Amino acid sequence: MKNTFLSLSLPASWIEMKKFNNKLDLVLLLLPIILFLQPISAIDFVFNGFNSSSVSLYGSAIIESRILTLTNQTSFQIGRALYPTKIPTKAPNSSFVYPFSTSFIFAMVPYKNVLPGHGLAFLFVPFTSIQSSISAQYLGFLNRTNGNRSDDHLLGIEFDVFANEEFSDMNDNHVGIDVNTLTSIKAADAGYWPDNSRSSSNENTSDEDSNSFKEQDLNNGKNYQVWIDYEDSIINVTMAPAGMKRPTRPLLNVSLNLSDVFEDEMYVGFTSSTGLLVENHKILAWSFSNSNFSLSERLITTGLPSFVLPKDPFYRSKVFIAGATVGGVLLREEMEDWELEYWPHQVRYQEIEAATKGFSEENVIGIGGNGKVYKGVLPGGTEIAVKRISHENDGMREFLAEISSLGRLKHRSLVGLRGWCKRERGVFMLVYDYMENGSLEKRVFDCDESKMLSCEERIRILKDVASALLYLHEGWDSQVLHRDIKASNVLLDKDMNGRLGDFGLARVHGHGQVPSTTRVVGTIGYMAPEVVRSGRASARTDVFGFGVLILEVMCGRRPIEEGQPPLLESVWQLMMQGQSLYALDERLKARGEQFDEGEVERMLHLGLLCAYPDSKGRPTMRQVVKVMEGNNELSEIESEDLDACLLQQMKSTDLWSSHSSHGSHPTFDEIRRHHSSSMSLSWSNTTVEGR
């Protein structure tokens, strides 16, 4: 930073158009401007890489290998990096806003097979604290009290990869200019106008001209350079792939008077956040000046590290296409092709046998319909869980369902499938990561009070499951229907993170395809009405199961208990009476635990909406995740800003008034009547294809 007087530069158009008869005319023209200009500090800096003195870090922001990383794979975090001192942005006691020019290179780096979010913003703020700022779709840009207020003094240029209806986002890949709110005053698809475009100098384009626009995917791991210039109440925003010459035509060109937005001095820098969706947000280089608009040319734009993930091809195995055919020789031939193609890899039987001490009974940690689950320890000390499946009772179908779904999936909230093994005589084994804290079911129902999950822990685990389901429904090459969402199928790792497992009933099909009718499968109490009556599963039936899971975990009650009304009916009746909080697990209240009543009530209402009898009335998992993210961040008063339509449904008694639980949810008698041809019943509470 160098101290100097502001070097006054008039717009070129003034110089070209004005012809002065004498020097006195020029002096008279400049006098009003000269009178109020005071000595200021001209800010000029170029960071081709960062160190601890370059920027001040807040929240999750760190500097590694001279790269500024704002966020990592931790959910609901905020990362902010600001120039260490405030910079002059407006002439004291005047409305004159100083011009500025900034450029930076960024990369949004998704984690493999994890839905990315939420984006980053370049910002001017009058404060440094992030204590009250909101993560997720709010990018750490807003706090709990501001938003759309003229006295907030916030300017942001957002690079947003999540479409939020509450902010009228145009899509999930856009650039916007934000003043005091994340509802952009103007936004555009992320991309650039190449200089060879016929439209490069004309913002009013025809449909034919618009074909020359080069849209760019913000969160593909590529490095992009951004240029932001402000002068004479005009702000220009331009972007292009790093290393490319700056396009002539800006992406955004907006008339914007910042005199009421900027204070005399402001902090400048970057903010980013994660919610249930996570990714790395990186800044590789940055320049800023309020006196030299060509300073960006000093940024190094070549030889930068690449963060693009290698593509992992989706192998369409013959077993997958055949839909888990189980017929004799055909199966054997398909398995041989499948073994060569499918990850995870095959594990030698001898390794599994040694790890489980010869499948010792003392190593049994669970018993399922088609076999036992053993704990094992590999030679290096890694703990594993081994599910041993019998060929009988559709064991082969379960084995193939797990491999053809979970075998190709990778997400932080899914149980990891490490490998598989098949033996002669129809014995199959699946090898998983070992989950130290057992199942969610046991930590809610079958444990002493000291190990029982708190209200906060339950909500956090439910958010983990929600993110996993969103990934299954939308985040992979094909759509995966789990079809057996329940507390016993949610496992807890050493850090008490929720992991969705047991894909023995899963089905995989193309996005947009309607799954064909099948046998009724699932667990009594979790199955949507349409599954029992038609056997047809869909993403909305998974949503139903998740809704029941929410209520089960929050209420500490199983969906169906002998001598008690069904859980759904009980919670619904309490909601109708305005007493939803009475449904919360009595054991939590008995031990005097403090909890957010508004958040608990929101979770209960969301559970009811997900388990709505008519599938058309249920939200999608994307909507569910949005509500859970917002619910984690906002007070009850602000809740309508999350997703007004969905929240209105959650609180509407009209939604439920025409559907009694008795009339819309299947009873045991209804299920029994379907028994003869559609499914097998196990009165241990599980209804599956033969388990």
484 is catalytic: yes
Q: What is the CA radius of gyration of the chain?
A: 29
Q: At what angle do helices 597-610 and 455-474 cross, to 10 degrees?
A: 40
- Evaluate whether 271 touches 123 at the Cβ level (below 8 Å): yes
DSSP SS3 for 145: coil
Strands (E) in 274-370, as ranges, are: 279-289, 364-368
- Evaluate whether 608 touches 656 at the Cβ level (below 8 Å): yes
How many residues does the structure list for the chain? Answer: 691
DSSP SS3 for 9: coil
How many angstroms separate the CA atoms of 89 and 110, rounded? Answer: 35
How many angstroms separate the CA atoms of 137 and 634, rounded? Answer: 12
Neighbours of 523 (CB within 10 A): 23
Residue 65 Rama label (left phi>0; alpha psi -120 to 50; beta): left
- Evaluate whether 239 touches 226 at the Cβ level (below 8 Å): yes
Catalytic hit among 169, 433, 464, 484 = 484
Residue 421's closest CA among 371, 463, 457?
Answer: 371
Q: At what angle do helices 539-555 and 621-633 cross, to 10 degrees?
A: 30
The verdict on whether residue 357 carries a ligand-binding annotation is: no
Find the DSSP H helices in 449-535.
Answer: 455-474, 529-534
How many angstroms separate the CA atoms of 588 and 240, rounded? Answer: 54
How many angstroms separate the CA atoms of 229 and 225, rounded? Answer: 13
Q: 170-180: string of b/e by CB count within 10 Å (b at 16+)? A: eebbbbbbbbb
Residue 301 phi/psi, 5° resolution? -115, 0
User: In what helix (H) or strand (E) does residue 45 lie, and over which residues does it extend?
Assistant: strand 44-47
Q: Residues at the annotated binding site for ATP?
A: 387
Instruction: Please give the positions annotated as active site.
Output: 484
Q: Residues at the annotated binding site?
A: 387
